[in-house]
Amino acid sequence: GFIKVNQYLQTNYENIYAIGDVVNSPMLAHVAAYEAKIALHNITSDSKKTPDYTLTPWAIFSGYEIGYVGLNEETAKSKGIEVVSGYFPYTYNEKAVDELDSEGYVRLYFEKNSKKLIGADVVGIGASEIIHEIAVFVKEGYTAEQVHEFIYFHPSLSEIFAFASYDVAVGKLF
């Protein structure tokens, strides 16, 4: 079982807080570190914060690195959100080609009417690193146009987001 905590990560003992794998939250080291920041704030401050796990980045380290954050098409539909998506393969990303590791892709998910970014899947080299950028874009409410027009370093893996958002922002590229 888990240690029960309230929305501030406080146990039923006023001066005891719990975080990480002992509470019912995603069992990830970076989530525990995030919860530690929240708990420390709540212990040392008169104001209180609550953890928000909606934009927790996830990664799977396998033959192909996989990173994802936010909603995908299936989870969005289950919440009644209509989705459009943009896709771009690593094959055309110069950094991935330079690294001799150009297998993979990025798929970005946008709410159909507003074109706001709601999530992403990244499969390929550096997926666990570049997924954080998408988490910030989702949190800040970026639209497909804003993702597309963002100035990305070249060559970089993250510039693939400009191409993956093109179909939704501008129209079909291919």
Torsion on CA atoms 38, 40, 45, 50, rounded to nearest 10:
20
The Cα-based distances of 62 to 31, 89, 123, 127 in angstroms read: 21, 18, 10, 11
Q: Is 119 helix (H, G, I), strand (E, B) or coil?
A: strand
How far is the C-alpha of 163 from the C-alpha of 63, rounded, in Å? Answer: 24
Which residue in the list 30, 132, 148, 154 is annotated as catalytic?
154
The residue among 76, 99, 92, 100 whose CA lies nearest residue 159 is: 92
The Cα-based distances of 49 to 1, 12, 21, 41, 136 in angstroms read: 25, 17, 20, 7, 19
41 is known as an active-site residue: no
Query: Which ranges constitute the DSSP H helices of the chain?
Result: 29-44, 73-78, 94-98, 127-139, 144-149, 160-164, 166-169
Catalytic center residues: 154
